[in-house]
């Protein structure tokens, strides 16, 4: 990925400055419960991040609720260091689905333009925390 594409049709839900540099290493992972991964093998995650040094770590199926976020972020920082920022999109009620964008601080702030592309007031059951769009 050479550059983030600036889209003008979408109104961003979060207004954050544009990235300081382009990401060189992007990792996408269906983590299937971040809580379980951190409990069972946080050292493996730590070693992986140290070896690969991702600019963006994109996680799917995090399976946590909002109340879990502070504890999970604390454990993640212990495992991968304080050089990352976190953006979560979680299911509003249950430990079902959920995504995370973990961005290295050398990128600056990433702009999350849209969450839950399928979600609408007419179809609230589709608000499952499955998507995030980075611009």
Contact (Cβ atoms closer than 8 angstroms) between residue 112 and residue 13:
yes
CA distance 53 to 60: 19
Give the pLDDT band (50/70/90) at residue 134.
Answer: confident
Joined tokens for residue 114: 């849209």
Q: Which tens digit of pLDDT belongs to each residue from 39-87? A: 998 999 999 999 999 999 999 999 999 999 999 999 999 999 999 999 9
Query: For 15, phi and psi rounded to 5 degrees?
Result: -105, 105
Query: What is the per-residue pLDDT for 9?
Result: 44
CA distance 54 to 60: 16
- Average pLDDT value for the chain: 79
Give the pLDDT band (50/70/90) at residue 20.
Answer: low
Query: What is the per-residue pLDDT for 51?
Result: 94
Contact (Cβ atoms closer than 8 angstroms) between residue 109 and residue 86:
no
CA distance 22 to 42: 28
SS3 60: strand
Q: Which tens digit of pLDDT belongs to each residue from 117-130? A: 666 665 555 566 77
> Whats the size of the chain, residue-wise?
135
CA distance 21 to 95: 34
């Amino acid at each position: 990925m050479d550059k983030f594409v600036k889209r003008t049709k979408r109104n961003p839900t979060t207004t954050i400055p544009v990235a300081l540099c382009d990401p060189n290493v992007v990792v996408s992972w269906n983590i299937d419960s971040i809580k379980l991964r951190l409990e069972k093998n946080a050292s493996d995650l730590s070693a992986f991040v140290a070896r690969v040094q991702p600019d963006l770590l994109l996680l799917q199926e995090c399976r946590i609720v909002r109340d879990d976020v502070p504890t999970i972020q604390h454990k993640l920082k212990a495992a991968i260091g304080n050089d990352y920022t976190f953006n979560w999109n979680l299911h509003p009620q249950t430990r079902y689905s959920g995504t995370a964008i973990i961005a290295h601080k050398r990128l600056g702030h990433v702009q999350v333009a849209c969450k839950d592309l399928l979600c609408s007031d007419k179809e609230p059951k589709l608000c499952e925390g499955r998507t995030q769009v980075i611009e």
